[in-house]
Chains A and B, each alone.
Chain A
Amino acid sequence: EAQVTQNPRYLITVTGKKLTVTCSQNMNHEYMSWYRQDPGLGLRQIYYSMNVEVTDKGDVPEGYKVSRKEKRNFPLILESPSPNQTSLYFCASSRGKETQYFGPGTRLLVL
């Protein structure tokens, strides 16, 4: 089954404790992205990657890091999480800019 998987689905952490949210896709897509979803603000792109070892900032990259060492994986790293990073995070993949396939989401609470 073609899908984008994210782990964990739910995470509660404390300020400053480094965390990683994993994302994996099995569709051999070149493009992968991370978004955060906040009420009234829609989906805002954090980072995106057009291929292995190629990443670029989206609209809200501050406080986040990504890496793309393999085509299928695109982890999101929060080196020092803060409460304003409490949000619902989505990973997405696509062959180009069209038809992005989203993962099920990761709900993060930073205390």
Chain B
Amino acid sequence: QQQVKQSPQSLIVQKGGIPIINCAYENTAFDYFPWYQQFPGKGPALLIAIRPDVSEKKEGRFTISFNKSAKQFSLHIMDSQPGDSATYFCAAGGNAGNMLTFGGGTRLMVKP
């Protein structure tokens, strides 16, 4: 049973569009919510992360929105570019060791 549910599984947008990827979690002990970006043939790499004491975090064109009461968080990519085409994973972490629970991933394609 996945504790972090991610949607959609795949997403196609035009260049300049704003893809939005959503995640929902169940465990209220989670207190760290990172997003990872993975290009084909590579390992995932940390993109941006948020803690539940803030509702939004921006880094460049990437924004995380966090809704603690709904137990949901999302990734927005402003002015998306073909180079953003990748698989994106949300994750959630708690106090247990370094356990990160990942969502199922979203394959994003940005068309030129």
Contacts and interface: CB of A to CB of B under 8 A. Distances in A.
Do A and B pair up? The answer is: yes
B43 A50 contact: no
Interface residues of B, number: 25
A94 interface: yes
A51 to B, nearest CB: 10
Contacts of B98: 31, 33, 48, 50, 94, 96-97, 100
A35 to B, nearest CB: 8
Q: Which of B4, B34, B41, B99 has the most CB of A within 10 A?
A: B99
A95 to B, nearest CB: 9
A43 B34 CA distance: 13
A41 B99 contact: no
A97 B100 CA distance: 7
Interface string B77-99: 00000000000010101000111
A98 B98 CA distance: 8
Interface string A1-17: 00010000000000000
Interface string A94-108: 101111101111000
Given A102-B43, A102-B44, A58 B99 contact: yes
Given A43-B89, A96-B98, A100-B98, 13 more contacts: A33-B98, A35-B102, A40-B9, A40-B104, A42-B89, A43-B44, A43-B102, A48-B97, A97-B97, A97-B100, A99-B46, A99-B49, A100-B46
A62 to B, nearest CB: 16
Given A43-B44, A102-B45, A59 B101 contact: yes
B44 A90 contact: yes
A35 B10 CA distance: 22
B75 to A, nearest CB: 14
B43 A97 contact: no
B32 A98 contact: yes
A111 B95 CA distance: 38
B34 A98 contact: yes
